[in-house]
Every structure is written in C-alpha cells, then in structure tokens.
Amino acid sequence: MKETIENLTPLAHAAQNRCFGCGPANATGLQLEFLLAEDGSVVCLPTVPDRFEGPSGYVHGGIIATLLDEAMSKAVRASGRTSMTRQMEIDYLRPVPSGAAIRIEGRVVRSEGRKHWTEAKIMNAKGTALAQGKGLFIEIRSR
C-alpha cells in the first residue's frame, strides 16, 4: 500500500442500506467502507473473506467485478450523485488473494450531464495492480 500518510475522510451512506457491496444492513454482503481522498477519488482498504473465494485462496471473479463496480459507483456518489452501472469492462490482471489486505481506488474520469465515465483498480499490499475496470454510470433521479 502507499507508505505516505493520506488524508482520507469516511464516505457516509444510509444506515439501512442493504447493498450487497457496501450495505451495513446486509449481513451476507461485503460491507465495504469507502473513504474520500483529497483529489476526489475514493479508496477502500478491505480484506475479502474466504467465503467469497472462487479458487481456493483467491477471490471469485464476480466478486472482483463487484469490488470494481462499487469503487466506480462510489466515485460518482462522492460528488453527491446516485448512479447505476450502464456498462463495465474488467481486466483481470493477476489473482486477487482472499484474506489479505488489498486497496481499491475509484475515480470519475469525465462527466456529461447524467453520464459519468469512471475507472477503478485493485492493488495488493506492494501496490501491484491485480484488476482494473472502466465503466459508464448513469445518474438516477429520485422517484
């Protein structure tokens, strides 16, 4: 991970949120906690439990996609907008170990109206990229 001291602020979310990725009210979910960096990107520092494995010792590919999707979504949310995934592309670079500390970063690259283009990556403790993604998120309006 980064050895420099970072100024990260917790990114608030609804207490009764049942989201599989970040919802504290979802006992079977990942319960990811995101932090806001000074540059507007989001950071998550989880250790993914082995119950989310594919091959023994490694995180399932669908969970890796979920981690990247969550980081990209939270990057849009950090600007006060709620969005949903329209399109997502994932590059699985190296296996992501379960039970080990990882770092996930997400950021908005460009916005046009309700469209937000994003990117995210997962890194190991040494800073090596394990997976990365790009996505298009569409801002949703409240009902």
pTM of the model: 0.92
Nearest-angstrom CA–CA distance, 141 and 128? 37
What distance in Å separates the CA atoms of residue 25 and residue 8, rounded to the nearest whole number? 24
Q: Is 69 one of the catalytic residues?
A: yes
List per-residue pLDDT tens for the chain, 143 residues long: 444 568 898 887 666 688 999 988 899 999 999 999 999 999 999 999 999 999 999 999 999 999 999 999 999 999 999 999 999 999 999 999 999 999 999 999 999 999 999 999 999 999 999 999 999 999 998 76
CB 74 within 8 A of CB 39: no
**Secondary structure (DSSP) of 106-117:** EEEEEEETTEEE
Can you give the residue ranges of every domain in the chain? 9-139
Q: Which residues contact 33 (CB under 8 A, 6 or more apart)?
A: 10, 11, 22, 44, 46
Which is the CATH superfamily of the domain at 9-139? Hotdog Thioesterase (3.10.129.10)
